Amino acid sequence: MFWGADIGIDLGTATVLIYMRGRGIVLQEPSVVAIERDSGQLLAVGEEARRMLGRTPGNIVAIRPLRDGVIADYDVTERMLKYFITKVCGQHLFFRPRIMVCIPAVVTTVEKRAVLEAAMQAGARRTYLIEEPLAAALGAGLEIAEPSGSMVVDIGGGTTDVAVLSLGGIVLGESLRVAGDKFDDAIVRYVRRVYNMMIGERSAEELKINIGTAFPAGRKESMDVRGRDLVTGLPKTIRITSEETLEALMEPVQAIVQCVKSVLEKTPPELAADIVDKGVVLTGGGALLHGLDKLLAQETEMPVYVSENAVTAVALGTGRALEYLDKLRSKNTFVSELLLKK
């Protein structure tokens, strides 16, 4: 009996990606929702809502319902999920899909329950949870079911998950609430401190992508950025260089480096030997920060590779996990599930 499509969801702090079995990645939209304050009416979701960030009139608010990898606003998250699922499945969810959602490696039972119930309310027949490092490893093409150690560092928008994997499970893992958003915040704070100027999240993100670097001998570029002068209150334009972004990003980048080192220090010797052979794999949008792989390689004295599909690795992994669900559950119990209540 056909029960509808299997869907894998990377419910990210910055971006939601949806994988549909047989079709691949069918949706990639920012995790932003625009709502009318008084009525609570949904005005825009995804890219359209992201363009409204920092530019809305008083009666409209553009919010990000996920913060630091977990649900900050349950009702808005549920409505956002329902909107995206309807967008990829069509208006009439006659066949309720099975949905696999990924979560950070270290979350509370309450946070897990919130994700499970949000997916169920959004129209799932059955919901499963998978931890982000496992999904990232599957999406990056690592053979995690073998009795051999692999290390994944997944740097998303809200969290960085560092894990050592073997035999289909996480041997060691740490979840750090420092990732892409904290990179943006660090740039905003630097510009305010050094230039007495306030810039928005989107401007900081553009600086990070276009000229940002984490490695001292990295980029030599510059870019104009506009903002508001905190002394005069008037609009102002300044030029920021790659060297300045290196200084701005030093604190969050070092936090990630220390987290990776901490996990490596606790890794059993046999698995550590495997990781030296295979190297460390970076996934997630934050892994694309210029020079981050070189810095980690220098600090850990190990080969470090950025996955070819770094941004979509977790979503692809959730889809792959659904395809091999029975095998994964028989080998390990990392998949949590919630059945549709009749």
30-34 LR contacts (CB < 8 Å, sep 24+)? 31/64, 31/65, 31/66, 31/80, 31/157, 32/62, 32/63, 32/64, 33/62, 33/63, 33/64, 33/65, 33/76, 33/79, 33/80, 34/60, 34/61, 34/62, 34/63
Instruction: Specify which residues 175 forms β-bridges with.
Output: 161
Cα angle 147, 259, 138 (rounded to 5 degrees) comes to 40
Q: What string of DSSP letters covers 233-265?
A: -SEEEEEEEHHHHHHHTHHHHHHHHHHHHHHHH
| 165 SS3 class | strand
Count of CA atoms in the C-beta half-sphere (13 A) of 6: 16
Q: Is the pLDDT of residue 128 over 70?
A: yes
pTM: 0.86
Give the full edge-to-edge strand order of the sheet including 235-241.
197-198, 222-229, 235-241
Burial class (CB in 10 A: 0-12, 13-18, 19+), 54: exposed
DSSP H helices in 31-91: 47-50, 74-89
pLDDT for the residue 269: 92
Q: Residue 332: pLDDT band by 50, 70, 90 thresholds?
A: very low
Average pLDDT over residues 78-107: 78
Q: What is the mean pLDDT of the chain?
A: 86
pLDDT of 9 higher than 50: yes
Percent of the chain with pLDDT over 70: 91
Could you identify the residue written with the tokens 């990179």? 183
Report how far residue 133's alpha carbon sits from residue 32's, in angstroms, rounded to the nearest whole number.
24
pLDDT band of residue 238 (cuts 50, 70, 90) is very high
Each residue of 207-227: pLDDT tens digit?
Answer: 999 999 999 887 889 999 999
Region of 183 (left: φ > 0; alpha: ψ -120 to 50; beta: rest) is alpha
How many helices and strands (H and E) does the chain possess? Answer: 12, 19
pLDDT of residue 324: 72
- For 57-88, the pLDDT digits (tens) are 878 888 888 887 778 888 888 888 888 888 88
- Alpha-carbon distance of 34 to 61, in angstroms, equals 6
- Is a pLDDT exceeding 50 seen at residue 3? no
Please compute the mean of the pLDDT values over residues 183-212 and round it to a whole number.
94
The dihedral built from the CA positions of residue 3, 4, 10 and 12, taken in this order, carries a sign that is negative
pLDDT (0 to 100) of residue 298: 94
- In order of start, what are the domains of the chain with their CATH numbers? 6-134+314-339 (3.30.420.40), 142-178+252-308 (3.30.420.40), 180-250 (3.90.640.10)
Q: Give residue-wise pLDDT tens across range 261-281.
A: 999 999 999 999 999 999 999
50: its two tokens: 């992201």
